[in-house]
Every structure is written in C-alpha cells, then in structure tokens.
Chain A
Amino acid sequence: MESLSNRKKVLEQKPMNFWERLYLPAIAQGMGITFRHMFKKKETVFYPEVEREFSENWRGMHSLKRDEQGRERCTACGLCALSCPAEAITMIAAERQKGEENLYREEKYAAVYEINMLRCIFCGLCEEACPKEAIYLDGPIVPADYLRKDFIYGKDKLVEEPLKAQ
C-alpha cells in the first residue's frame, strides 16, 4: 500500500555484523548501564515515617465542616446523598432545639450522618452539590480495616474537631 501521509519510513534491517553477533559487547554495555544505576538517587519514600505530599486537588476522606463559631454547617438537606453516584451517603435529619444554637448553624441538622467508605468512589460530587460548604474531601487516605461494618463512618469520625476556646 502506498502511504498517503508521506510519513511512512521503511527501516532497513541490516544483518548483524560479527561484533554484534558476539553478544558479549552488548552484555558488557548493558552491565555498565545497570552498574551506573547503583549510585543513582533512590526514589523510595519511607512510608510510615515519611509521607508523600498529596496534590492540591487530592480527594481523600470526607470531613464535615464547622463555621467560624464552631457550629456544624450541615443542614441535612440530602443533596449530597442525592448527588452521590455510589449511594454511599445516608442521614437522618433533626430539628434544632432551643439552646443548641451554638452547636448547629441551621434550624435543621443531621442527627445521624453516615458514609459507607466501601461504596464511596471519591468522585467529589457531594462536595460540589453541598449548598452550605459543609462537606469536603480533604482528609487523608481512608485506612484499611477488618470488618465491613467498620467502614461505615458516622459523625464521630467525619465531623471536624471543635474549635479551640480562645
């Protein structure tokens, strides 16, 4: 077939000469290359002691945010659960009682909020759907565990630490 693009190159495969057929020079050359690698900088990151830096847009474990006064931002609207393609998020809403204004920002809050980390695909759609900027995937890698039930993370693991009294 004729080449239409004119980029076709026919490579001529020459028979090997004596030096090449000897094979030993090629081996010596290769061994030189491998030997040089002995002294190169090692790429290893010593994991438990040293952690590799995550990139800017890394999506890790979820955290439920608090506002400037340390109140939970989540209002249990359920948009995150709706947007979740993996059906990983469930919640039970509750109404804020008198005297709880310092705990919850909105009048409705999530009494139970659970994410199944085995279902979660870390796509970040919950983050995008949230109108209250209450959920972000800014945590570390979700650790391994032994039982399936232990992968269902509740509010105890998801909600941010309360603000330190200043």
Chain B
Amino acid sequence: MELAFVIEKFVLITVIFSLSLVVAMYSTLAERKIAAFLQDRVGPNRAGWGGMFQPIADGAKLFFKEEIIPTDSSRFLFIVGPSLAILTACIGSAVIPWGQPMLIAGREINLQVTDINVGILYVFGIVSLGVYGIMIGGWASNNKFSLMGAIRAASQNISYEIPMGLSLIALLLVTNTLSLKEITEQQHGWHWNVLYQPLGFILFLVCSFAETNRTPFDLPECETELVGGYHTEYSSMKMGFYLFAEYINMFISSAVMTVLYFGGYNYPGMDLVNNILGPTWGPLIGVAVMFIKIFMFIFFFMWVRWTVPRFRYDQLMNLGWKILIPLAIANIVITGVWLTYVVK
C-alpha cells in the first residue's frame, strides 16, 4: 500500500467522522429550534448568536454532571451499552459515497471511505447491531422501566427490519447491485430511484423512523410511560452518548435514504456544471447537493416528530407486521412483473 493512499483514506475518515459528529451536535440545536418554530416559540437563543453555541454548552454540562452508576447494576455492561451505541452509530458512514471522484493534484480521490460490493448489507448489519447498545444498557440498568424500554427497542427494531429489507429487495431488483457507489452512479442526473420505487421509498422511510427510534415510533424512550425508557438510569456523558448516537443514526439513515432513493450527489444538469467547473470543483457541488438532501431529510425527521403523536405499542406491531410487510411483498411482486414484462 502506498503512502499517499493511506494518507488519503486517513484524511477522508477523519473528515467524515468529525463531520458526522458536528452534524449530530448541531442536529440537537436544530431539533430544539425547529420544535420551537413549529410551536410558535423562539427556541434557545442565549448562547452565542441565535444559540449557535448551545450544543457546546449542552455538551459541557453533560460532561460536568455527576456520573451515577446504580449499585444494583451490572457495572461492565452498564458501560458497554452506551459505548456500543455510539460505536455502531459512527461506523455506519464508511460505505456512503459522498461525491464523485475528485481530481486533486493529478490524483483521483474517491469520496467514499471504502467501496465494498455488499455496501448496503454492511449498513444493514451495522444498523441491526445498534439495537444491542440499547438492549445491553437497558438490561444492565436493573430497572423495570429500562428493561421495558430495551425490550420494546429490540422487538421494534427486529419487526421493522423485515419490511425495510423487503422494500430494499425491490430496489435491488431495479439496481442489480449492492454497492452503494454503483447504485448512486445509476441515478445520474434526475434518474432517482424514488421515481421508480415510490412505494418502496415510503416503506423504507417509515421503517427508518422505527429503526432510529424517532417519533412516532419512539416507544423505547417514551417518557410518559417509561420515565426515560432504556436510559432511565443513565447520567452524565453516558446519557449524552445515547442521545448523540440517536442523532448520528438519524444522520446516517438520512444519508442512506439519500443515496438509495434520492440520487445521492446527483442532480439535474450535473454534467453541465462539471464541464464548467472541472473535475476538482465540480464534485464539490455534488457533495453540497448531497448534504442539502441529507439536511432536508433530517428536517423531515424533526418535522414529523412535532406533528405525529406516538403510536401505541400494539398499533406499532400491527402496522409493522400486518401492513408494511404485505405491502413490501406486494411491492416486490409488482416490481418483478414490471421488470419482466414491461422493461425487459
């Protein structure tokens, strides 16, 4: 392995890692601001201009809080829980293509940490691991509310992974590849997959709400029933890690939805822009477009949170097993028939 390659990847990983942390940090502010705007309020505006330093103040507060580990808890697992949650949240971004290859000093640089040919399966594997952080944390707390939250998280994630995977199968029938890079390249210009898979996209969207434990599916931490859900016993930065992991997950799943259904870095008229700006600056516009799409999805997540009330637990299960799974299967059948008889 040559040195330049190692440096390139190292820089890319550092940039993406810190970027996802910063995005998650400012998502907390964005969430509070959007919540405020939707409720005719102003939101945090004291720390810095318009509340710009609020996330830093929040982080500092969490760091300086007293850290309590309950005596009845399983100490090792209690610490493993949040660590696992944040770990799995952070490594999910490795296979996402952030832009077209960039030409810097005569060297073509891939704006993707690694292009493994089963990229989407990797993302799914990581997302499924994410629930272990919640489960272990809830179990180790030795508290009935935490345990209830953990059980709900586990069963919810398992239930919604099935329709998510099934809606993905229909997408894979269209794309014929698992590599996220190739999937993005196929959506050149305006050929976004959402135009070919509208139903699949809606199913995927609903499931990703459930996978990231966001309202209306935030039963694992629903404070009206379960105090704080799986993180009832947590305090200080361990609690911060759980909250942070949720926001990173939201960022990653927004990025995955962008890549799979909304064309990633592709936008109409991109060839023209690339010709004008050249191979160094052209892809940067694509990166910006990608991030705009991601931020739109993050805004959508928050918008839904302050609109739709929480589902009841049986309603959640009904929706998952009785509606989403049959719909996803029907979607596969329709896609199959369409591809076999109409497109050829």
Contacts and interface: CB of A to CB of B under 8 A. Distances in A.
Task: Decide if A and B are genuine partners.
Answer: yes
Interface of A: 24, 27, 30-31, 33-35, 37-38, 40-44, 46
Interface in B160-202: 202
B308 A30 contact: yes
A31 B307 contact: yes
What 10 pairs between A and B have smallest CB-CB spacing? A44-B42, A34-B307, A38-B37, A34-B38, A31-B307, A30-B307, A42-B42, A40-B40, A37-B38, A43-B40
A166 B259 CA distance: 79
B40 A41 contact: yes
Contacts of B304: 27, 31
B322 interface: no
B205 to A, nearest CB: 11
B37 A37 contact: yes
13 contacts: A24-B202, A27-B304, A30-B307, A34-B38, A34-B303, A35-B303, A37-B37, A37-B39, A40-B40, A41-B40, A42-B41, A43-B41, A44-B41
A158 to B, nearest CB: 33
Contacts of A31: 303-304, 307
Interface residues of B, number: 13
B300 to A, nearest CB: 9
B306 interface: yes
A32 to B, nearest CB: 9
A163 to B, nearest CB: 40
A17 B307 CA distance: 23
Contacts of A40: 40
Contacts of A43: 40-41
A37 B40 contact: yes
Nearest to A27: B308
Contacts of A37: 37-40
A35 B34 CA distance: 10
A93 to B, nearest CB: 49
A42 B7 CA distance: 50
B307 A42 contact: no
Contacts of B38: 34-35, 37-38
Q: Which of the listed residues A33, A34, A40, A42 has the most CB atoms from chain B within 10 Å of its own CB?
A: A34
A38 B304 CA distance: 13
B212 to A, nearest CB: 17
Nearest to A39: B37
B218 to A, nearest CB: 16
A4 to B, nearest CB: 38
A24 B199 CA distance: 12
A21 B40 CA distance: 30
